[in-house]
Structure 1
């Protein structure tokens, strides 16, 4: 179809150019024909005057030559008046007759001048006049025919031009419509989530912002919706099942969305909604209805896994500050985090307490670089006691934040915040270097020291420069091999065992020992012990909590420790608070104990005093 249109337009333009050329020539010729009419008229009038003068014995050769010159040019096209030949047969015939009659008229003039009878001069003059008259009419008719033909051509040109423009306009409009459709399609692609068909977060922000400002008489709330432990769903039941759940939930939400309301998928298993309400209680009721529908669907499926959905709700009327849409979403998200993985409630409204907590978080995040630069992070040591000789064998480096205005901030407060926003790696590195500085100082002063373990967050695990960075710091302070132990949490070990095996190998190559922290706290697997070459394993304090069956508890702990000893893995029991626990652990062959039963975490100076007092230097053989 496009090819036909292009060919049609090309043909029309060729016709338009051809006909226009003919028309231009015609216009020029019609002007020449008008000139012929004028000069034939002059000949007609001048011949009458010449005859009268001759009959009154007033000869005028100048007038006679003038008429002769015009007639000659009319017939031959050669002369000074710019007269042209006309392609008109009858006109040319009349010109031929007019020339003959002019000769007759000249003969009679000569006779009159010779005083012969002039009876015929008047008759011939009249005949010449009538013949000239007929010639004028003929050229006028011919000119009119050409004018009519020109008009026809002009109409044809106009029609062709109009037709060409119509085709061009149609084609342009089709292209415009096509582009608009393409633009709409591209917008739909850009603004629609590929998996669920819901709006994207970008589209949500545009529409939500518009509705909030347009309908100021309405009450609006932002919902931030998240699924708990959705990674577990994907890992256990597969990604197809996980995708099915997300699509079902998106459909349920989109069917529930009313006028003025908007729904979108932010990312992964997180969704956002703008809801309109009269009473706040209606918000929770409506959301619970949708959530329960999905829970019922998943309960009916053979897997029988119950989904947990949590929502943070930020009612715009509760916000004191003037916020943009991003800030409102952040506040809803913050409210959601206060109930995620906490039994009892699935919905939380953003309020003043949450606002204060959010401000505290933002303050912590904004001050992290300044705090590190000002050395506000203080390293504490918690000793690990060797059960065989009851002496300090090693210690774990912990961190406290000593702020100039608020005093000590608990790690339980700032570490989760820094982990969430990927700042924890900065603190990890800071603590590691402070430990290196401390060991170097003790070595230079020839004072006793012990092996120190430092914690590494899961963020570091994915840092490609992690081992290289820590190794360079160790070399910078010339720390002996196996003087520092790197502690990883159990959850990190399970995420990517192949990558984790590479990390442990590189750490061993660079003179570090490695320990697995919090064993038993999460989804523990004994398989990790045979697959990953840890040097030390720390049993989480949950192993030593009060149990309904004390004998079973002791049997489990005893056999784990025996197995670890056979694997040549050093065992550490952490969180130990009671002497009877110590006696039991000593009895079953546990190597080290860390807990309040012996020592709490203490500042470096206090730990140094303890070391100096015990003089344990000879109990730790440095492998150089």
Structure 2
């Protein structure tokens, strides 16, 4: 057991007086330097604890009779020892008394239980609870000492961890996790600390610039590559630079995870830092997710219709239903903002079915009011068609309005086919059995494969004009487009060119046999009211643009 210590500090002279047993307890020279510098320079106390001692002396000098019980660990000649430190200055005096009371036995008993709750048993890193506690200690010490060391909280996990677990088995995956923990701990060293918060999810807290944090992440990847494994360990890092005050450890972690999610699965981006752009994106996602159900219930999602024209005659020959969100406060919210969020959280299926039902309602009203009837397409993605009762959901809504299925075309995005062509072929066959015409949307957008047309009996190809861009003179573009249109003719499949904005594009398409045009050249998406006026009678042709 160590001894309690009574140290005097003259705040006016800025000198310390030490008890005789001080030199015998510690491997440090207690000279004219401030106590906290002596303890820091000789590694007798951590930097954080030295800051706390300095702060206690400063506060005692400013406030009479100030006392604060601080738990400080000092390294004695026989090992670490815990003290309860208080600083007191009597009124009218410049003499501060620092009282170091030995509480080592009590702290060790408590630390044993704390260690069990704040440590990860497998890796001996901090647990999530221990991580948060340690971060709070470090940030509090910084605040009290009025010093600013910028730390970063860095999060990472292992790509395809579940597959690795199945491959390695329980014992093998535990060895891998221990090796990862050892690599992290070795690189972080004494400057920072690390935690395994669960499963394959690791965190480290480290001081340094953005460049230093990035270099550390890259070194970790290099360390993982040196493991004696028959496969490569891939992981992405998300980092939050802790440069704001009053941010809790949980929020720090959440922000690091948000940053990591933005590059998750990428082989080219090792680390991503949380910034204002990501923050705004997260806020937008939260706002949209928070009001999407109410928006659907209150009819804020409305159908818009983009007409399709025969460029050779100017006749309207079809349309596509698109969704627009008209918010009572924010106004028109772009589909480019809310569609990716809905695809991520699963709400997209509910929205797509709602727009399909609105299309059925519109066709029913058009029939009842004697409008010119044209086939209308509605969009469905892989999130929709992989729903077990997809066909039943469509049929329930269509039959509710007693609309013939030949009046509705089902657009399936080309990306929906990737990785599930056999299942998609079955869905398309069932749609045909129900009388629907099925279109392949976004052909040429990046996922196209001739095998798709071979294996799946689509009725119509929708050609994505992004494929052609604005270049109608490129020999490669011309040759490829001609080949696609000719192939479709041979397969007896009509082609609709989508996204046509220039007369030159439309004329070129007509010259190679594709006359059905959809895009801003002829019409932007129209509100239901404006579209209704357009198709009120059969005389809805437009002047052919040449």
TM-score normalised to structure 1 length: 0.57
- Structure 1, unaligned stretches of length 5 or more? 1-183, 618-624
Q: Give the drift of 1:338.
A: 4.7
Which residues in structure 2 correspond to 1:225-624 (within 5 Å)?
A: 225=156, 251=179, 254-257=182-185, 258=188, 261-262=193-194, 264=196, 271-291=201-221, 310-318=236-244, 323=248, 325=250, 327-338=251-262, 347-546=271-470, 550-612=474-536, 615=539
Paired position in structure 2 for 1:212: 135
Deviation at 1:209, TM superposition (A): 3.0
Distance 1:350 1:442, change over 3 A: same
Counterpart CA distance in 1 for 2:400 and 2:124 is 53
CA-CA distance at 1:414 after TM superposition: 0.8
User: How far did 1:578 drift?
Assistant: 1.3
**Does structure 1 conserve the Cα–Cα contact (< 8 Å) formed by 2:319 and 2:376?**
yes
Question: For residues 213 and 431 of structure 2, what CA distance do their matches in structure 1 show?
Answer: 52
Unmatched tracts of structure 2, length 5 or more? 1-115, 143-149, 542-546
Residues 291-348 of structure 1, C-alpha deviation per residue, up to 9 Å, x if partnerless?
4667899xxx9x9x9x996532123443755x463x5443223223556699997543
Deviations 1:502-561 (A, max 9, x none): 211222222322111112222321011010011111122232125698122111111111
- Aligned CA distance change for structure 1 residues 549 and 345 (closer, same or farther; 3 Å): farther
| Cα offsets for 1:259-291 (capped at 9, x unmatched) | 553355978xx8542232244442122113334
2:136–2:249 contact (8 Å) kept in structure 1: no
Give 1:118's aligned residue: none
SS in 2 for 1:495: coil
Shift in CA distance, 293/595, structure 1 to aligned 2, threshold 3 Å: farther
8 Å CA contact 1:340, 1:346 repeated in 2 = no
Contact 2:461–2:495 under 8 Å retained in 1: yes
Distance in 1 between residues matched to 2:462 and 2:226, nearest whole Å? 41
CA deviation vs aligned residue, 1:146-173 (integer Å, no higher than 9, x gap): xxxxxxxxxxxxxxxxxxxxxxxxxxxx
Give CA deviations for 1:331-373 in whole Å, capped at 9, x if unaligned: 2232235566999975433234432331221010010010011
Distance 1:540 1:343, change over 3 A: farther
Q: Distance in 1 between matches of 2:347 and 2:436?
A: 24
Return the structure number with greater helix share. Answer: 1
SS in 2 for 1:556: helix
Once residues 263 and 367 of structure 2 are traced to their aligned partners in structure 1, the CA distance between those partners, rounded to angstroms, is 49
Would the alpha carbon gap of residues 319 and 513 (structure 1) be closer, same or farther in structure 2, given more than 3 Å must change? farther
Query: Does the CA contact (< 8 Å) of 2:443 and 2:464 recur in 1?
Result: yes
Contact 2:499 2:520 in 1 (8 A): yes
RMSD value over aligned CA atoms? 4.1
For 2:253 and 2:213, the matched residues in 1 are separated by 16
Equivalent in the alignment of 2:154: 223
Distance 1:334 1:589, change over 3 A: same
What secondary structure is seen at the aligned counterpart in 1 of 2:447? coil
Who wins on radius of gyration, i.e. which is larger?
1
Measure how far apart 1:198 and its partner are.
11
- Superposition map of 1:183-202 within 5 A: none
**Residues 226 and 539 (structure 1 numbering): CA distance in 2 closer, same or farther, change over 3 Å?**
farther
Aligned to 1:82: none
Aligned-pair CA distance for 1:572: 1.5
Contact map agreement 1:396 1:452 (CA 8 A) in 2: yes
1:157-196 map, 5 Å:
none
8 Å contact from structure 1 (residues 448, 612) kept in 2? yes
**Contact map agreement 2:325 2:333 (CA 8 A) in 1:** yes
Structure 1 residues 339 and 484, CA gap change in structure 2 (3 angstroms): same
Q: Say if 1:212 and 1:220, in contact at 8 Å, map to a contact too.
A: no
TM-superposed CA distance for 1:455, in Å, is: 1.2
Report the Cα distance in structure 1 between the residues aligned to 2:391 and 2:265, rounded to whole angstroms: 33
Q: Is the 8 A contact 2:234 2:267 kept in 1?
A: no
Distance 1:295 1:586, change over 3 A: farther
Verify the 8 A CA contact 2:372 2:537 in the aligned structure 1. Answer: no
The residue matched to 2:405 in structure 1 has which SS? coil
Contact 2:128–2:196 (8 Å) recurs in 1? no
* Change in CA separation of 1:215 and 1:315 when aligned onto 2, cut-off 3 Å: same
Matched residue SS, 1:318: coil
Count of residues paired in the alignment: 408
In structure 2, how many angstroms separate the alpha carbons of the residues matched to 1:319 and 1:485? 55
The 1:318/1:533 distance shift into structure 2, 3 A limit, reads farther
